[in-house]
Amino acid sequence: MATSGKVWVSPLNERAAIRPGATARSPVRFYDTTLRDGEQTVGVVLTPQQKLELARALDELGVSRIEAGFPRVSPDDAEAFRLIAREGLRAEIWGFSRAVRGDIEELARLGAAATVIEIPCSPIKLQAYGITAADSLLRVTEAVRLARQSGIRVAFFPVDATRADLEHLRSAYLTALEAGAEEVVVVDTIGACTPEAIEYLVSQVREWIGSGVPLHFHGHDDFGLATACAVAAVRGGADWLQATINGMGERAGNADIAEVAMALTCLYGVPVALRLEKIREVSARVRAASGYAMEPWKPVVGDTLFLRESGAVASQFHLPEAIEPFSAELVNARRAIVLGKKSGVDSVAIKARELGLEIPVEKQTEVLSAVKKRGIEKRGLLTDTEFREIVARCCS
């Protein structure tokens, strides 16, 4: 996406840029897991048809891979996977599987071309599942080999990798690759890492597996750092970022595709394979299908990001770079002045011009007072109709 002249961030960012070579091979690509990990948001249930419609939207957004689900969970999940896999989308369609024969056999039955295969990796997760470290390596080998025998490409997904013993984690990655896995994922299952630790771990994994193996990062937002950790993963050498629309997912959710993509593009100058002008539309469609509300101030996709109520800010509205870090055009958003308690004379003047209304200079203060009063009474914003009525009353 061309961003020249549409990004207005600090020049200090250049002093902390992602080191040369970290992303020189190609744009960072997104592996979307909204339809699997995102659906793990408490209370969210998507029908197979809804998942198909959202997969089409994700494909239009330009995500490179869509995780169409975990087919063994239920007949609905299997049907959703089948529908999406047969849709002929440009994105690669991936499945999700544990290191369990039945999971892989179900993917094979559905004709899956690729899947992640997960197994617990940290001491606490191994204990929770009653699996020894040695047994986990045997299971990885068997599962990956079975998938490869079924013609399924594998990305190895060690659960809770960020809390694993590093020697065991290294063995797990190398065991999976030896068994036939072609890609690996650094998984911060419960958002337990700082960005600095993620950069360190991803760079370590890159050293273990070599430069030719595609390396993913999958992180959660339990401390509000998933976006920062995803950027750090790119600094460490990750090629792929696994994330969701709106950051939905288990507990505090996953890394948010929109936030990560915009941070990389605008703050770090790192190219991403995504059509950012589609992101707000897709965000709204996912919200509607999932039936949840979202903060209106949420970065990139929030409803109020490009609306200005404050009079002090409205006075600068003519110069977007004075009050915004990036152009609304990048994400296909509409800039607008809204009226309420915090409005100023400039707010009223801009809204009047927008609506084709004439307010004599001597009446502006009276109109503004009426606008503020109405905003306080409503404890909200005025509609255009209410503003027209105020102007008509004050200027008659």
235: its two tokens: 């600094």
Residues of the chain predicted below pLDDT 50 = 20-24
pLDDT at 18: 64
List, for residues 336-348, the tens digit of each pLDDT value: 999 999 999 999 9
**What are the DSSP calls for 32-71, one per residue?**
E-TTTTGGGSTT----HHHHHHHHHHHHHHT-SEEE---G
pLDDT at 19: 53
Give how far Cα 339 sits from Cα of 326, 334, 376, 385, 390, Å.
23, 16, 11, 12, 12
User: Shortest CA distance to 243 belongs to which of 228, 212, 82?
Assistant: 228
pLDDT at 21: 47
What type of residue sits at position 275? Answer: R
Give how far Cα 118 sits from Cα of 161, 251, 262, Å.
11, 19, 29
Helix (H) or strand (E) holding 156: strand 153-159
pLDDT at 25: 53
Helix (H) or strand (E) holding 159: strand 153-159
Strands (E), 7-113: 29-32, 65-67, 92-98
pLDDT at 15: 77
User: Shortest CA distance to 67 belongs to which of 253, 244, 291, 276?
Assistant: 244
In whole angstroms, give the CA distance from residue 79 to residue 71.
8
Residues with Cβ within 8 Å of residue 82, at least 6 apart in sequence: 110
In whole angstroms, give the CA distance from residue 267 to residue 272.
12
DSSP-based three-state secondary structure for 352: helix
List, for residues 304-344, the tens digit of each pLDDT value: 999 999 999 999 999 999 999 999 999 999 999 999 999 99
Is 3.40.50.300 the CATH number for 25-290? no
- Return phi, psi of residue 277, to 5°: -70, -10
Q: Where are the domains of the chain?
A: 25-290, 307-395
In whole angstroms, give the CA distance from residue 141 to residue 123.
19
Query: Taking a C-beta distance cutoff of 8 angstroms, is the pair 215, 246 a contact?
Result: no
- Return phi, psi of residue 24, to 5°: -70, -20
Q: Which residues pair with 97 in a beta bridge?
A: 117
Angle formed at CA 255 by CA 178 and CA 111, multiple of 5 degrees: 50
- Count of C-beta atoms within a 10 Å radius of residue 184: 26
pLDDT at 23: 47
Query: Taking a C-beta distance cutoff of 8 angstroms, is the pair 264, 234 a contact?
Result: yes
What type of residue sits at position 204? Answer: Q
Q: Which residues pair with 250 in a beta bridge?
A: none
